[in-house]
Amino acid sequence: MAKIGINIATGSLQQSEMIVGIDLGTTNSLVAIIHPESKNPVALKEHNSSSLVPSVIHFDAWGNAEVGETAKTYLETDTQNTIFSAKRLMGKNYNDIKEHASFFTYKVIDDDTDRLVKVQVGEKFYSPIELSSFILKELKARAEHILKTPVTKAVITVPAYFNDAQRQATRDAGKLAGLDVLRIVNEPTAAALAYGLGLHKEEDKTVAVYDLGGGTFDISILKISNGIFEVLSTNGDTYLGGDDFDRAIVQYWMQEFGITQDELKANKELAQGLRLRAEEAKKHLSNSDTFSVEWNGDTLAISKATFESLIQPLLDKTLQCCKQSLQDAKLNAADIDTVVMVGGSTRVPAVKNAVSNFFGKPVHDEVNPDEVVALGAAVQADILAGNNKEFLLLDITPLSLGIETMGGLMDVLIPRNSKIPTKVGRQYTTQKDGQSAMRISVYQGERDLVKDNRKLAEFNLTGIPGMPAGLPKVEVSFLINADGILVVKAKELRSGVEQSIEVKPQYGLTDEEVEQMLMDSITHAKDDIATRALVEARTEGEQILEVTEKFLTKNSSIIAPEEMITTAQAMQALQLALTMEDKDLIHKKVEELNEITRPFAERAMDAAVSGALKGKTI
Ligand code: AMP
């Protein structure tokens, strides 16, 4: 059953919730979604404009941030206030980037510590996380404008070599931008997904993803089996890309026109003019054999053959990285089943040929290499949203699911690693006389106390008819359907009142978080058993106290005053024991109170029988 919602802000119809895929790139970023009708991944763009948003942030005199094309125009004119390549700083301290400090034309603070770097703009300091969040905010706003619906959930890609700190930083940037980052996905994995690789369970493949962008080069070897992507090895050069091709052309023209390095440095206009024309030439040569343009009365020209010889050393460098990554994965080029091309620079025919020759097979380049990562992120987002029926990401529950019972204990209904779909029901009852409502709190996790687990949902079952405590029969059932959606239902069986709620239990948890929760449950297993025993003892003690008190009020006539005193004392002792962390003491006090009150119960029974017989004639 499809759920349809109405967006109150725009009045437009929403087909459940939209999860977007985001490629947060070093040079460019973009957003993609699965098209609701065609079901194909598409990159979002405004009419007649590019889907790519330059990952550049410009701060104006008042400190307002602007991201994208306009910001990019300040790259050379307002270097101090224009931030590019913030991704290179994610999760890094100054020592990590010291070697490349001159690359950053803005102010990266050298505090000579192990703390994460900050960037200074005017009087303000920004962490790379904040800077990335500006880019993500812009992407979010653009997506919302195009889709006419709020965008709050995303899958974001990162390079396969990103460590935990860098992944966390990316996640935090998302949070700061108002996005719930459902998953961080490796860029090569996303690229493979965009080509439909790994979408069939039986598939067993080794894939090489060659990613040559504007300023970075990555090669990753992936092993895909049973829908699981494993990164076997990665290699690359974080300062090698299409920009180096442009520089090679600039240098070629400088030689031709006798321009020296110093002249170029001194004349910013000349430098920028040549660079822009070099990039134009490079792009042109991807589809033609020659390029020429008139500029300042001169003709700037270059042939494809010349361009290819200029970039050959750079191509060799990338192939060297490929060789190394194969070695690290303990594979030969022939072991690679599929080669996938990513990044704008793989449009250069010489790049494709070189890679194809190296691996001895044609390369996959059908999908736009600038968009392929974002498109794959959208595929992953769609899987997470449960829309991709062919490919169930979860066919077992990664964590246990249960509800909160007395004393904050977790009562597991569906244990972790249960196969889905699955259905489980269990009966509960009320604690208090006349209790008309019952709160059902649904949790996910392995710990004994719900406070250590993750709350997924909560609802009230109301309208339970007045009955003594323990009499109502409330059946709570958990049903996880094939889409991984959990439906929790509570029904009071005597009266038939019922209430239900839908939850998507896998939301918001990454594999790492699941792992962490499992690790915690193992580390705390001993404590948890002790806590559970204590909570259970306390619950029992509280119940006994309540029952005794009720009994005393109702049956005071058959209890002697001294009995009243000893009972009150035993109750007090139990009350005190309940405040202590000693389950054995509680058990002992419960037993002592029971010892005292046992005869009362017998007496009350006799009284009831004789009362019933009174006035009756036989
Ligand atoms: P990316 O970082 O993946 O966005 O790649 C950007 C790089 O791709 C830049 O160096 C661009 O100049 C380069 N690029 C874009 N289109 C082409 C093209 N048609 N031919 C060659 N290089 C291109």
For ligand 1, whether the C-beta of 345 sits within 6 Å is yes
Of all residues in the chain, what percent carry a pLDDT higher than 90? Answer: 57
| Catalytic entry in 130, 187, 382, 446 | 187
Q: Answer whether 18-195+371-383 and 198-366 agree in fold.
A: yes
pLDDT of the residue at 184:
84
For residue 320, the one-letter residue type is: Q
| Catalytic entry in 72, 87, 489, 583 | 87
For ligand 1, whether the C-beta of 28 sits within 6 Å is yes
Span from the CA of 509 to the centroid of ligand 1 (angstroms)? 35
Pick from 185-199, 432-446, 507-521, 523-537: least confident: 507-521
In our burial notation (b when 16+ CB lie closer than 10 A, e otherwise), range 272-298 reads: eebbebbbebbbbbbeeeebeeeeeee
pLDDT of the residue at 4:
38
For ligand 1, whether the C-beta of 592 sits within 6 Å is no
**Quick one: which H or E segment has residue 544?**
helix 525-554
Of all residues in the chain, what percent carry a pLDDT higher than 70? Answer: 89
Average pLDDT over residues 107-127: 87
For residue 497, the one-letter residue type is: V
Span from the CA of 243 to the centroid of ligand 1 (angstroms)? 8
Span from the CA of 209 to the centroid of ligand 1 (angstroms)? 17
Q: Is the pLDDT of residue 508 over 80?
A: no
pLDDT of the residue at 482:
57
How many other CB atoms sit within 10 Å of the CB of residue 532? Answer: 17
Pick from 94-98, 187-191, 288-292: least confident: 94-98
* CATH among 1.20.1270.10, 3.40.50.300, 1.10.3720.10, 3.40.640.10 for 526-613: 1.20.1270.10
Q: What is the number of the ligand 1 atom nearest to the C-alpha of 282? A: 21
Span from the CA of 43 to the centroid of ligand 1 (angstroms)? 17
For ligand 1, whether the C-beta of 54 sits within 6 Å is no
Q: Residue 263 in contact with residue 275, Cβ under 8 Å?
A: no
pLDDT of the residue at 603:
79
For ligand 1, whether the C-beta of 348 sits within 6 Å is yes
pLDDT of the residue at 48:
84
Q: What is the number of the ligand 1 atom nearest to the C-alpha of 370? A: 3
Pick from 42-51, 194-203, 357-366, 601-610: least confident: 601-610
Testing ligand 1's pocket by substitution, the residue of 210, 347, 367 carrying the most ligand atoms inside 8 A of its CB is 347
**Confidence category of residue 526, pLDDT binned at 50, 70, 90:** confident
CA distance 607 to 356: 97
Atom 2 (ligand 1): residue with closest C-alpha?
A: 213
**CATH numeric code, 18-195+371-383:** 3.30.420.40
Does residue 187 carry a catalytic annotation? yes
E strand map for 269-342 = 290-295, 298-303, 338-342
Span from the CA of 138 to the centroid of ligand 1 (angstroms)? 22
Span from the CA of 251 to the centroid of ligand 1 (angstroms)? 19
Q: Residue 119 in contact with residue 126, Cβ under 8 Å?
A: yes
Cα dist from 288 to 58, 137, 253, 428, whole Å: 35, 39, 19, 75
Q: Is the pLDDT of residue 8 over 70?
A: no
Average pLDDT over residues 56-73: 96
CA quadruple 155, 156, 160, 166: dihedral positive or negative? negative
Testing ligand 1's pocket by substitution, the residue of 216, 246, 250, 282 carrying the most ligand atoms inside 8 A of its CB is 282
Q: What is the pLDDT of residues 180-200, one digit of tens each?
A: 988 888 899 999 999 999 887
Q: Is the pLDDT of residue 439 over 70?
A: yes
Cβ partners under 8 Å of residue 39, min gap 6 = none
Q: Residue 31 in contact with residue 21, Cβ under 8 Å?
A: yes
For ligand 1, whether the C-beta of 454 sits within 6 Å is no
For ligand 1, whether the C-beta of 213 sits within 6 Å is yes
C-alpha angle 446-505-392 in degrees, rounded to nearest 5: 110
Three-state DSSP class for residue 211? strand
For ligand 1, whether the C-beta of 286 sits within 6 Å is yes
Q: Is the pLDDT of residue 66 over 80?
A: yes
Domain 401-509 classified CATH 2.60.34.10?
yes
Cβ partners under 8 Å of residue 339, min gap 6 = 207, 208, 209, 210, 355, 356, 359, 361, 362, 363, 364
How is the chain split into domains, by residue range?
A: 18-195+371-383, 198-366, 401-509, 526-613
**Confidence category of residue 610, pLDDT binned at 50, 70, 90:** low
How many CA within 13 A on the CB side of residue 589? 26
Average pLDDT over residues 507-520: 66
Q: What is the number of the ligand 1 atom nearest to the C-alpha of 27? A: 2
Span from the CA of 279 to the centroid of ligand 1 (angstroms)? 8
Q: Is the pLDDT of residue 615 over 80?
A: no
Q: Is the pLDDT of residue 170 over 80?
A: yes
CA distance 56 to 86: 8
Range of 382-386, 472-476, 502-506, 525-529 with top mean pLDDT:
472-476
CA distance 104 to 84: 8
CA distance 613 to 253: 118
Strands 474-480 and 422-428: antiparallel
Q: What is the number of the ligand 1 atom nearest to the C-alpha of 52? A: 4
Span from the CA of 285 to the centroid of ligand 1 (angstroms)? 12
Cβ partners under 8 Å of residue 11, min gap 6 = none
Q: Residue 81 in contact with residue 217, Cβ under 8 Å?
A: no
Structure token digits, residue 560: 């002697």
Q: What is the number of the ligand 1 atom nearest to the C-alpha of 26? A: 2
What pTM, to 2 d.p., does this model score?
0.65
pLDDT of the residue at 306:
98
Span from the CA of 45 to the centroid of ligand 1 (angstroms)? 18
Residue 524 CA to chain centroid, in angstroms? 25
Pick from 11-25, 107-121, 122-136, 282-296: least confident: 11-25
For ligand 1, whether the C-beta of 548 sits within 6 Å is no
Span from the CA of 185 to the centroid of ligand 1 (angstroms)? 23
**Quick one: which H or E segment has residue 498?**
strand 498-503
CA distance 77 to 56: 13
Span from the CA of 215 to the centroid of ligand 1 (angstroms)? 10
Q: What is the number of the ligand 1 atom nearest to the C-alpha of 286? A: 20
Cα dist from 131 to 50, 125, 161, 176, 177, whole Å: 22, 10, 21, 10, 10
Q: Is the pLDDT of residue 426 over 70?
A: yes
Q: Residue 461 in contact with residue 535, Cβ under 8 Å?
A: no
Residue 540 CA to chain centroid, in angstroms? 41
pLDDT of the residue at 310:
98
Structure token digits, residue 587: 């058990």
What is the chain's alpha carbon radius of gyration, rounded to the nearest angstrom? Answer: 34
Residue 402 CA to chain centroid, in angstroms? 23
The phi and psi torsions of 533 (rounded to 5 degrees) equal -60, -40
**CATH numeric code, 198-366:** 3.30.420.40
pLDDT of the residue at 432:
87
Q: What is the pLDDT of residues 21-59, one digit of tens each?
A: 999 999 999 999 999 889 899 999 988 889 999 999 999
For ligand 1, whether the C-beta of 279 sits within 6 Å is yes
How many other CB atoms sit within 10 Å of the CB of residue 472? Answer: 23
Q: What is the number of the ligand 1 atom nearest to the C-alpha of 215? A: 2
Average pLDDT over residues 309-314: 98
Atom 8 (ligand 1): residue with closest C-alpha?
A: 344
Of residues 577, 535, 569, the one with CA closest to residue 450: 535
For residue 84, with 0-12 CB atoms within 10 Å meaning exposed, 13-18 middle and 19 or more buried, which class applies? buried
Q: Is the pLDDT of residue 118 over 70?
A: yes
**Confidence category of residue 480, pLDDT binned at 50, 70, 90:** confident
Atom 15 (ligand 1): residue with closest C-alpha?
A: 344
Q: What is the number of the ligand 1 atom nearest to the C-alpha of 242? A: 10
Q: Is the pLDDT of residue 79 over 70?
A: yes
Average pLDDT over residues 233-262: 95
Atom 20 (ligand 1): residue with closest C-alpha?
A: 283
Average pLDDT over residues 115-126: 91
Atom 14 (ligand 1): residue with closest C-alpha?
A: 344
CA distance 285 to 292: 10
| Catalytic entry in 130, 138, 172, 211 | 211
Atom 7 (ligand 1): residue with closest C-alpha?
A: 214
Structure token digits, residue 108: 């990266």
Does residue 511 carry a catalytic annotation? no
In whole numbers, what is the pLDDT of the chain averaged over residues? Answer: 87
Atom 18 (ligand 1): residue with closest C-alpha?
A: 283
**Confidence category of residue 13, pLDDT binned at 50, 70, 90:** very low
| Catalytic entry in 23, 243, 370, 446 | 23
Span from the CA of 411 to the centroid of ligand 1 (angstroms)? 56
